Structure 1
Amino acid sequence: MNKCDYHHLNHVKEQHKSKKTLWFTLIITLFFTVMEIVGGFLSDSLALLSDSAHMISDVLALGMSMTAIYMATRNPNKKYTFGFLRFEIIASFINGLALAVIALGIFIEGIKRVMNPREVDLQLMLIIASIGLLVNIILTIVLSRSLKEEENLNIKSALWHFLGDLLSSVGIIISAILIYFTGLSILDPLISMIIGGIIFTGGAKIIHESYLILMESVPEKFDLDSVRHDIRTVEGVVDVHEMHLWAVTTDHYSLTAHVFIREDSQPLSTISTINRLLKDKYGLKHSTIQIEHPAINDHGLYGKEMLLKKQAYSS
């Protein structure tokens, strides 16, 4: 960092719990993915093969999530002044897209197999699905507990992956049992298509959440009008404008605002009071407040109205 940035807030995110959770999840997932791919080809079950494709995406998603967590620990520099926190959101967006694409692929293949049903090895299909159910229950519990301790969109996207896997395993088991008793092989692709719909829903949710952050929209937990109102209540403040509130990544927020103050106010004291308000009430630790005077800073008709207000206050 340059000397001028000595007091720059470090945009760094240490996520020890998330890191351990993802390493454990990645190792278990990689092992079971190999098992499910082999089992899917041997049993010729679309339900197993579609789930194994989803598991491959899990491995890639977890690898990307791990990269995002390590990137988030790197300090800002003169080029990346916000650090590398945003990579977490980029990774989540890609993970969400992967879920959606896989779901569409499952749906297309399901339609093909509905038109041309194929025999499946029910015993092998049931054994692997049962193992998968146990694995996915364990991983879902582990990820859920981690998410409660550390808010992380990557963990949330991974959780959606494994909720999809868990439902896939349940669907495959139900499919195998129904095929055994009815002899209807068409149930295998039908169950797969239902699973694909659930996976697509999870992917769409992750895409939406990460899209909002990438577009720097106001986070849902904040009411911009309420924040603006509270700033206006600070002693000496006449009005607030050019206000922006966005998330750099999950749980890391920034705010900027221009503030008109009375001439008899102390600018440094006013800024300090506003920053303290934002931190104590809203948890906003990274805020940039710019003090302005409507007679000096041209704001057109709006500035003239503020100037009249200031004159009214003075009189």
Structure 2
Amino acid sequence: MHNHHQLHAQSQDSHHEHAHGHSHNHGHGQGHHHQPSSSEGNRKGLTIALIITASIMLLEFFGGIATNSLALLSDSGHMLSDTASLLLSLIAISFAIRPASSNKTFGYLRFEILAALFNGVTLFVVAIFILWEAYHRFLQPPVVASGSMMLIAAVGLLANLASAWSLMRKGDVKNNLNLRSAFLHIISDALGSIGAIIAGLFMLLFSWYIADPIISVIVSLLILKSAWGVIKHTVHILMEGTPASMNRDDVRKALEGIEGVIDVHDLHIWTITSGLDSLSCHLLIEDDQDNQSILQQAIRQLEEQFHIQHSTIQIETSRIHHQLLKI
């Protein structure tokens, strides 16, 4: 392990290899060119979902007041956080495509991860609030206008499904963490609407008004599970954790398997934003080896085997010495 601050004090040779590794590895640049097109689809999907969600939020809020239904009111509260999170996700996409600057060399790509974290936290807060309200309703279940409640919840469900379909069709829900967190908001909304319909059915048929808080609790627990997954993932990225789909030891073995490589050290793999993983490392090679050939093999191996297009590789021989790094 070696100290980054010591690298600049190394020989011209080492500096040349480091820079050369960077210039050869412009797969990262190509990744940036793909960004706007996928961002455009994500933006369209989010805009449609935002308009639908905001409209249904207002319907469920006033419907919940009129029918005295916690299930509807909690769902409208959830939709309020959804509207905010969809708006934030939309803003995050606009920020993410802004170019890098001299004081933000990675640009604003991380803003999407921050938006996803915020979305996860708001999901968590809304779920806790619903559980608190449900607790009070368990003690004294109020009478609910179940017929009207079911009708409003059904409209909400159809709207949620339309929003979810819009995001799935136009956006990258699978690989973009920001979009996935927004999508989870909408899916948990759909669960809330389904819960309200089921609760309304019980109340309509059996006058079983405790069904309202019971269903609200079940939906809240499902929301908490989704929220925890998003929070855990975003915090891992912000802590520069190794991408979940990658094994650091496998990457090390692959690089050490290149002929002429003696040792791989100072190996770091992290995620900048969804779909953009980065790597930096030092390769200690045999003195008589062609360093440029080894560098090219390493770049190709990382791209083909691990889909890492943004890598910085420093080639070293026995002549290079630097102190141990703290990380």
- In structure 2, the residue matched to 1:177 is 201
- In structure 2, the residue matched to 1:284 is 308
- The alignment-based identity, stated in percent, is 37
Q: Does 1:76 align with 2:95?
A: no
Contact kept? 1:17, 1:150, Cα under 8 Å: no
The correspondence for 1:195, drawn from 219, 222, 225, is: 219
1:146/1:212 Cα in 2 relative to 1: closer, same or farther (>3 Å)?
farther
1:258 is paired with a residue of what secondary structure? strand
Q: Does 1:95 align with 2:119?
A: yes
AA partner of residue 131 (structure 2): F
Distance in 1 separating the partners of 2:286 and 2:75: 64
Contact kept? 1:36, 1:128, Cα under 8 Å: yes
Measured against aligned partners, the alpha-carbon deviations of 1:105-124 in whole angstroms (never above 9, x if no partner) come to 00001001111221111222
TM-score (norm 2): 0.86
1:54 is paired with a residue of what secondary structure? helix
Distance in 2 separating the partners of 1:195 and 1:101: 14
Q: Does 1:260 align with 2:297?
A: no
Distance in 2 separating the partners of 1:124 and 1:181: 14
Contact kept? 1:77, 1:83, Cα under 8 Å: yes
1:195/1:213 Cα in 2 relative to 1: closer, same or farther (>3 Å)?
same
Distance in 1 separating the partners of 2:183 and 2:149: 24
Distance in 2 separating the partners of 1:66 and 1:292: 44
Q: Does 1:162 align with 2:186?
A: yes
The correspondence for 2:139, drawn from 100, 104, 115, is: 115
* Unaligned runs of at least 5 residues, structure 2: 1-18
AA partner of residue 98 (structure 1): T
Measured against aligned partners, the alpha-carbon deviations of 1:25-64 in whole angstroms (never above 9, x if no partner) come to 0011111111111111111100000000000001000011
Q: Does 1:250 align with 2:274?
A: yes
* Unaligned runs of at least 5 residues, structure 1: 301-315
- In structure 1, the residue matched to 2:15 is none
Cα drift, residue 155 of structure 1:
1.6
Distance in 2 separating the partners of 1:239 and 1:272: 17
Contact kept? 2:285, 2:315, Cα under 8 Å: yes
Contact kept? 1:243, 1:258, Cα under 8 Å: yes
TM-score (norm 1): 0.89
- In structure 2, the residue matched to 1:129 is 153
Cα drift, residue 269 of structure 1:
2.6
Distance in 2 separating the partners of 1:138 and 1:206: 22
Contact kept? 2:41, 2:171, Cα under 8 Å: no
Distance in 2 separating the partners of 1:268 and 1:93: 41
Q: Does 1:50 align with 2:74?
A: yes
Distance in 2 separating the partners of 1:89 and 1:226: 26
Contact kept? 1:99, 1:199, Cα under 8 Å: yes
1:42 is paired with a residue of what secondary structure? helix
1:288 is paired with a residue of what secondary structure? strand
- In structure 1, the residue matched to 2:236 is 212
Distance in 1 separating the partners of 2:154 and 2:322: 70
Deviates more, 1:255-264 or 1:140-149: 140-149
AA partner of residue 49 (structure 2): T
Distance in 2 separating the partners of 1:134 and 1:149: 19
Distance in 1 separating the partners of 2:306 and 2:214: 48
Measured against aligned partners, the alpha-carbon deviations of 1:184-223 in whole angstroms (never above 9, x if no partner) come to 2111111111111111111111111111111111112112
Backbone CA RMSD of aligned residues: 2.0
Distance in 2 separating the partners of 1:27 and 1:149: 18
Cα drift, residue 138 of structure 1:
1.9
- In structure 2, the residue matched to 1:311 is none
Cα drift, residue 126 of structure 1:
1.3
| Larger RCO, structure (CA 8 Å, separation 6 or more) | 2
